[in-house]
Amino acid sequence: MTTGVDGPGRPVLPPILRGQKALVTGANSGIGKATAIALGQAGADVVVNYVSGRETADEVVREIESFGVRAYPHEADVSQEDQVVAMVARMVEEFGTIDIMVANAGLQRDAALTEMSLAQWQKVLDVNLTGQFLCAREAAKEFKRRGVVPEVSRSAGKIVCMSSVHQIIPWAGHVNYAASKGGVLMLMQTLAQELAPDRIRVNAVAPGAIRTPINRDAWATPEAEADLLGLIPYRRVGDPVDIADAVTVLVSDLMDYVVGTTIYVDGGMTLFPGFATGG
């Protein structure tokens, strides 16, 4: 069957997350969807958060259930404190606990600085940065309460912040987005430092250009895709499964000693490709 994470040459994931409970925000589209499915394929039970589009969330749930693990959809806006608190509380009730929080939900509201409204600025900061703070906080409370259960995982919990190459690459015309992801970098590192003594691992994954609805304009026409490939030394646009697989391995015990790091999954976009032929 097609799993939504199948791809040419992709090895089948072994059940490296068996018995773990994961929550993925923004899990009914793009990177979040592929990540939720990959975590399920690796043996985790998964909460599929969405803010709108119940039908697509239900499809993701069905695909995860096809691996013989549990899943359910949960509607919540990650920028709303009461909704995030209720989402994690329900998960603890239904699944018993949480082991993995993937704070993935994000959006863009692009405009040149002089055209950007305060509402555009605030919306992106609220979802991309405050949303990650709220999700990390609620997950960490449960990780600390429960502590390490060695039969399940070597750590008490894992938080993955979905960042972007724009946590370090400035991006004209997208100051709200770049500022939010720059904030995610320091959020992640500070939480990693604060929570490591509790055996909680906080890391980030920073995608480059991945084919999803968020950046359709950048790859939807052959001309746009050719321009984009000029920024990618590996000369292919990424697929959601590229990110999903990196997250899956990162939250597994194979990566137990990885704490406070950003894994760039970007085909080399952060290698200053403009300098490849001189400079």
Separation between Cα atoms, residue 181 and residue 187, nearest integer Å:
9
Contact predicate 136/129, CB 8 Å: no
Active-site entry in 177, 234, 257, 264: 177
Measured from the CB atom, is 161 or 192 closer to ligand NAD?
161
Contact predicate 135/101, CB 8 Å: yes
Given 13, 24, 26, 191, the residue binding ligand NAD (CB under 6 A): 26
* Four-residue CA torsion sign, 100, 80, 181, 50: positive
What is the smallest separation between the CB atom of 19 and ligand NAD, expressed in angstroms?
Answer: 26
Measured from the CB atom, is 102 or 156 closer to ligand NAD?
102
Q: Which of residues 164-203 bind ligand NAD (CB under 6 A)?
A: 164
Measured from the CB atom, is 156 or 204 closer to ligand NAD?
204
Given 30, 40, 43, 183, the residue binding ligand NAD (CB under 6 A): 30
Given 3, 20, 25, 248, the residue binding ligand NAD (CB under 6 A): 25
What is the smallest separation between the CB atom of 123 and ligand NAD, expressed in angstroms?
Answer: 9
Measured from the CB atom, is 50 or 143 closer to ligand NAD?
50
What is the torsion angle, in degrees rounded to the nearest 10, for the CA atoms of residue 69, residue 20, residue 53 and residue 89? 120
Separation between Cα atoms, residue 84 and residue 51, nearest integer Å:
11
Q: Which ranges in the chain belong to alpha helices (H)?
A: 30-41, 54-65, 81-95, 118-125, 131-146, 175-195, 216-219, 222-229, 240-251
Q: Which two tokens stand for residue 164?
A: 């972007």
Given 4, 40, 73, 106, the residue binding ligand NAD (CB under 6 A): 106
Q: Which of residues 72-91 bind ligand NAD (CB under 6 A)?
A: 77-79
Please identify which residue in the block is written with the tokens 């989402």: 87
Q: Which two tokens stand for residue 131?
A: 């949303």
- Tell whether residue 209 is a contact of ligand NAD (CB under 6 A): yes
Given 44, 140, 210, 247, the residue binding ligand NAD (CB under 6 A): 210
Measured from the CB atom, is 4 or 30 closer to ligand NAD?
30
Distances from the Cα of 59 to the Cα of 4, 55, 73, angstroms: 10, 6, 10
Establish whether 177 is a catalytic residue. Answer: yes
What is the smallest separation between the CB atom of 90 and ligand NAD, expressed in angstroms?
Answer: 15
Q: Which of residues 232-271 bind ligand NAD (CB under 6 A)?
A: none
Measured from the CB atom, is 97 or 215 closer to ligand NAD?
215
Given 105, 134, 156, 187, the residue binding ligand NAD (CB under 6 A): 105
Given 122, 215, 261, 270, the residue binding ligand NAD (CB under 6 A): 215
Half-sphere exposure (Cβ direction) of 173: Cα atoms closer than 13 Å: 1
Q: What are phi and psi of 68, to 5 degrees?
A: 85, 15
Q: What are phi and psi of 84, to 5 degrees?
A: -70, -40
Side chain identity, residue 182: G
What is the three-class DSSP state of 70? coil
Catalytic center residues:
177
Q: By the criterion CB under 6 A, which residues form the site for ligand NAD?
A: 25-26, 28-32, 49-51, 77-79, 104-107, 127, 162, 164, 207, 209-210, 212-215
